[in-house]
């Protein structure tokens, strides 16, 4: 049987938005995220972080720093569990060297979601994407996930931009905790 998944953006969704977060010491969890992720863990969802990290492409920090930040984040979130972290170090125009590429993994393209679905046996049609940017939700929409915009990070500004879009998020939540509550209330996703 395929797993259900919740794909979370990192900066502005789980932790405070920092312009090009480049060191573990810069991590500050947003209120309620441990409880939110723990509730998703208990309900049987695979919880996967998918994050664009253009700071690598722009030469602001090394690619080796990204796993170090994720290790620190994993510890900060305990007892909540992140099943996997996926990141895109590329940028199509501002990248340097090998990182300057128009890849399939950079959101709004769905490459990270597709890779996670293969590796974790996730049914994308029964899964959710939660993020603070239109690009997060566009990646989810490309693979038929339900999409939740959180108003944390850039979400408040992005919500205004969405007003002119031909498609809308499935839900808008003040934060990850409220997004998780909505996910758990979806009748066809309740654990039997």
Which amino acids are annotated catalytic?
A: 9, 11
Rg (CA), the chain: 16
State the Cα–Cα distance between residues 31 and 158, nearest whole angstrom: 20
Using a 10 angstrom Cβ sphere, with 0-12 exposed, 13-18 middle and 19 or more buried, the burial of residue 188 is exposed
Distance (Å) of CA 140 to CA 46, 106, 137: 15, 12, 5
CA atoms of 27 and 18, how far apart (whole Å): 8
CB 128 within 8 A of CB 146: yes
């Amino acid at each position: 049987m395929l797993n259900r998944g919740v794909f979370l953006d990192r900066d502005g969704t789980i932790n405070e938005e920092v312009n090009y977060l480049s060191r573990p010491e810069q991590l500050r969890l947003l209120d309620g995220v441990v409880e939110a992720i723990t509730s998703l863990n208990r309900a049987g969802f695979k919880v996967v972080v998918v994050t664009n990290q253009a700071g690598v492409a722009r030469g602001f920090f090394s690619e080796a720093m990204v796993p170090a930040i994720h290790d620190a984040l994993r510890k900060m979130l305990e007892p909540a569990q992140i099943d996997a972290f996926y990141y895109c170090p590329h940028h199509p125009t501002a990248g340097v060297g090998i990182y300057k590429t128009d890849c399939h993994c950079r959101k709004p393209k769905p490459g990270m979601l597709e890779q996670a679905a293969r590796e974790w046996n996730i049914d994308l049609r029964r899964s959710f994407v939660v993020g603070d940017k239109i690009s997060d939700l566009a990646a989810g929409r490309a693979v038929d996930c339900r999409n939740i915009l959180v108003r944390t990070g850039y979400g408040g500004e992005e919500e205004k931009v969405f007003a002119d879009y031909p498609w809308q998020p499935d839900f808008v939540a003040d934060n990850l905790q409220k997004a998780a509550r909505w996910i758990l209330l979806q009748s066809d996703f309740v654990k039997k």
